[in-house]
Amino acid sequence: MGKQLIKGNEAIVKGAILAGCRYFFGYPITPASEIAEAAAFYMPLVGGTFLQAESEVASINMLYGAASGGIRAMTASSSPGISLKQEGISYCAGSELPIVIVDIMRGGPGLGNIAPEQSDYNQMVKGGGHGNYKLIVLAPNSAQEMCDLTMLAFELADKYRNPAVILADGFIGQMMEPVEFPKAVEKIPEKEWALHADADDEKKLICSIQLDPDVLEKHNLKLQEKYKKIAAEVRFEEYYCDDADLVLIGFGVVSRVLLSVVDILREKGQRIGLLRPISLWPFPSFQIAQLAQKIKHFLVVELSNGQLVDDVKLAVNGKKPVLFYNRMGGIVPSPEEIIAHIEKTVKA
């Protein structure tokens, strides 16, 4: 499709189609509504299906059904809508279904507002539904990555038979940028476990209920072994970390602000770097622990009450100070604001 100036939300849909997704089930909600709108327009053009469900609860269960048939399918919503989907997400994880879920985060709790936040981190990274499951969680920071990581999410979901999440703040979803679209996926792997409404289906069972405690424990142990394999596929980006005294950590739109902070302070001769987690789960704990052996401080910046910072502290394990700066309610800090905080806090 060449290069296009496009919103991040729309880039997600085009990336999904290039990845072979042909079914979208969803319900509109700001700031994610453009995803449903784009899916309604583009899916029929490629022989796919868009269905606006009667609710978020219905849409995630429609996704469960489509994925059981071996089809690449997705849904998208924003924070309150994702909360409603949590039971269905747990069912999909328990049934090992390769679905893709997009969460364009907005302010909360409750209905909150429609401005960008990052307060769904715990809900998606830690598993907001019941049970002992894990989701693959990817965090884009540009319209280009909204496309690229969506395509990757479908690959990883199929590879591990596990739900995958695109977790982006409302800023990235609404931002318009040039996007270079890659080639479409030519062949989607066959799924021997999928249901096709034929005689072979009698030998197959896709469900998320195991009433016998021993059977359920065995199933959970099997899932934990799979999660260990997924944990090896960590994705992150480093910027000027080799000689840094202070390393900033943030994802999504925050990472772009922090990039400017690093450039400004580097020009002033300060040794400062940036680590951006791209996969929030699996989390780059090992890489952060390695940095903790040679730097003086970390500073985590996020648009929440402090959720990402907990995982950073676990990775650092008390070896170095982990400082924290945040905004909530949909306010994105400026580079100057963060620099002022660094000058005040780190020097103190």
CATH of the domain at 311: 3.40.50.920
pLDDT tens profile 185-237: 999 988 999 998 877 777 788 999 999 999 999 999 999 999 999 999 999 99
Which of 230, 260, 277 is the last residue before a domain boundary? 230
Q: Do 268 and 176 share a domain, yes or no?
A: no
The distance of Cα 195 from the centroid of its chain, to the nearest Å, equals: 28
Q: Is the pTM of the predicted complex or chain greater than 0.95? A: yes
Q: Do 213 and 247 share a domain, yes or no?
A: no
Does pLDDT of 347 surpass 90?
Answer: no
CATH number at residue 116: 3.40.50.970
Q: Do 210 and 86 share a domain, yes or no?
A: yes
Average pLDDT for 167-182: 97
Secondary structure string (H, E, C) spanning 132-186: CCCCEEECCCCHHHHHHHHHHHHHHHHHHCCCEEEEEEHHHHHCEEEEECCCCCC
Q: Do 131 and 204 share a domain, yes or no?
A: yes
Q: Structural domain of residue 305, as residue ranges?
A: 237-345
Burial category of 51 from C-beta neighbours within 10 Å (exposed 0-12, middle 13-18, buried 19 and up): middle
Write down the pLDDT at residue 198. 78
Q: Do 269 and 220 share a domain, yes or no?
A: no
Q: What is the largest CA-CA distance in the chain?
A: 71
Strand partners, 25: 51
Average pLDDT for 104-122: 97
Write down the pLDDT at residue 126. 96
The mean-pLDDT minimum among 32-36, 183-187, 277-281 falls in 183-187
Dihedral (Cα; 238, 242, 247, 249), 10-degree rounding = 10
pLDDT tens profile 35-76: 999 999 999 999 999 999 999 999 999 999 999 999 999 999
Q: Do 282 and 215 share a domain, yes or no?
A: no
Q: Do 7 and 112 share a domain, yes or no?
A: yes
Q: Do 62 and 20 share a domain, yes or no?
A: yes
Task: Report the share of the chain in percent with pLDDT over 70.
Answer: 100
Which of 205, 230, 255 is the last residue before a domain boundary? 230
| Distance of alpha carbon 173 from alpha carbon 113, whole angstroms | 15
Write down the pLDDT at residue 1. 63
Which of 188, 212, 230 is the last residue before a domain boundary? 230
**Letter string b/e over residues 99-138, b meaning 16 or more CB atoms within 10 A of that residue's CB:** bbbbbbbbbbeeebebbbbbbbbebbbebbbeeebbbbbb
pLDDT tens profile 131-171: 999 999 999 999 999 999 999 999 999 999 999 999 999 99
**Other C-beta atoms within 10 Å of 94: how many?**
21
Helices in 231-334 by DSSP H: which ranges?
253-267, 285-292, 308-316
For the chain, what is the domain count?
Answer: 2
Write down the pLDDT at residue 189. 85
Q: Do 190 and 262 share a domain, yes or no?
A: no
Q: Do 263 and 278 share a domain, yes or no?
A: yes
Average pLDDT for 80-103: 98
**CB 274 within 8 Å of CB 238:** yes
Does pLDDT of 125 surpass 80?
Answer: yes
Q: Do 93 and 180 share a domain, yes or no?
A: yes
Does pLDDT of 293 surpass 80?
Answer: yes
| Distance of alpha carbon 331 from alpha carbon 338, whole angstroms | 13
Residues 6+ apart with CB under 8 A from 140: 8, 146, 148, 149, 166, 168, 172, 252, 278
Residues 6+ apart with CB under 8 A from 146: 8, 9, 11, 12, 15, 140, 166, 168, 172, 173, 179
Write down the pLDDT at residue 318. 95
Q: Do 132 and 203 share a domain, yes or no?
A: yes
